[in-house]
Amino acid sequence: MGKAEAAAIALLGGGITAAAIAGVTLTAAPAPKEVRELTAVIDRLSRSNDLGNRPISFMVASGSYASYLAEERGFCKKDRCVFFAQLNPYKSYANGWNELIRQSYALGDIQAWSFSTGTIVIPQATFRAYGPHSGYLACTVAHEIAHFQRDHVFQASYHEHHNLETSSDDDKNKELNRWSRKQELEADRDAADMLARAGYDGRVCKNDIAFMHRSVGIATKTDDDSTHPGYEDRLAAMEKHYEAIEASPPAPQPGPPAQVNYDANTNLLRVIPQPRQS
């Protein structure tokens, strides 16, 4: 029995007996459209990729544009508006917050970010921007899973506190940005490998990068203060990696698909990878 069904039974109390006698079936409300799209992508990826042995959670959120709007409206102080980027778009709020979410959905664009805990946030506008391009969405999902699998947050912290202690602030910032760019390229390559194992055709993750940059409207160069590779550098790196993939395709890692469960109360899509046979 799902949590939503259990909650319904608890609320109805003795009424459930009468409903059952009358032949009425109580079912949980269907998951939101974006959550269903995520579930389909994760199912396909997990059938051909070992996702490890740690749970992963996905949260559909309002997105960074909601933060900008919240600051503009005076709901938060400058640089202290992250809270609004992570609002639940499926929940009703007071004080104009739902209008922030609506505008963020209409005007926001492709984004995603991951936490060291294994929670991956994908704004609702990402799904609108990608539209029918489920392969591009899969690249973004795989990219964020790669960050988690590689413990990139921890690795960046270790690099800063163990290798850069004696560096000047300027040198430290430049090196941390270089390190971040390196991690982004690692996640790009891992994502391309994951989609290749899952049977996605062509250079889908390179095409995703081109699509994403055009959608967001950014074509920057790589600078010392860049946390991500510039447009041309990122495309060139993916071109080189796809040449390697086509020369030696990564072998699938077959196994049972991950168990996936959506909890509407926490707005978390919980993914439990299943063990692979050694």
- 223-247 b/e with 16+ CB inside 10 Å = b? eeebebbbbebbbebbeebbeebee
Q: Which of 233, 211, 238, 232 is nearest to 110 (CA)?
A: 211
> What's the confidence (pLDDT) of residue 167?
93
Whether pLDDT at 26 is above 70? no
Task: Give the number of other Cβ atoms within 10 Å of residue 3's Cβ.
Answer: 14
Lowest mean pLDDT among 23-37, 53-67, 135-149, 185-199: 23-37
* Lowest mean pLDDT, pick from 7-11, 81-85, 249-253: 7-11
User: What amino acid is encoded at 19 in this protein?
Assistant: A
Tell me the per-residue pLDDT of 56-80, one tens digit each, with 9 for 90 and over. 999 999 999 999 999 999 999 999 9
209 within 8 A of 234, measured Cβ to Cβ = yes
What phi and psi values does residue 46 have, to the nearest 5 degrees?
A: -75, -15
pLDDT digits (tens, 9 = 90+) for 184-229: 999 999 999 999 999 999 999 999 999 999 999 999 999 999 999 9
Q: What's the rounded mean pLDDT across residues 148-174?
A: 96
Q: Please, what's the largest Cα pairwise distance for the chain?
A: 74
Q: What is the dihedral of CA 15, 16, 22, 26, to 10 degrees?
A: 130
Contact 120/134 with Cβ under 8 angstroms?
Answer: no
Rounded distance between C-alpha atoms, residue 165 and residue 72, angstroms: 38
| Domain residue extents for the chain | 1-30, 31-63+108-272
φ, ψ for residue 57 (rounded to 5)? Answer: -125, 140
Residue 9 has pLDDT above 70, yes or no: no
pLDDT at 29: 75
Instruction: Residue 253: name the closest of 202, 186, 197 by CA.
Output: 197
What is the chain's Cα-based Rg? 21
- CB-neighbour burial class of residue 203 (10 A; exposed 0-12, middle 13-18, buried 19+): buried
What does the alpha-carbon distance between residue 110 and residue 204 come to, in Å, rounded to a whole number?
A: 16
Cα–Cα distances (Å) from 202 to 81, 190, 199, 255, in that order, read 39, 15, 9, 23
Query: What's this model's pTM, rounded to 2 decimal places?
Result: 0.89
> DSSP class of residue 254?
-
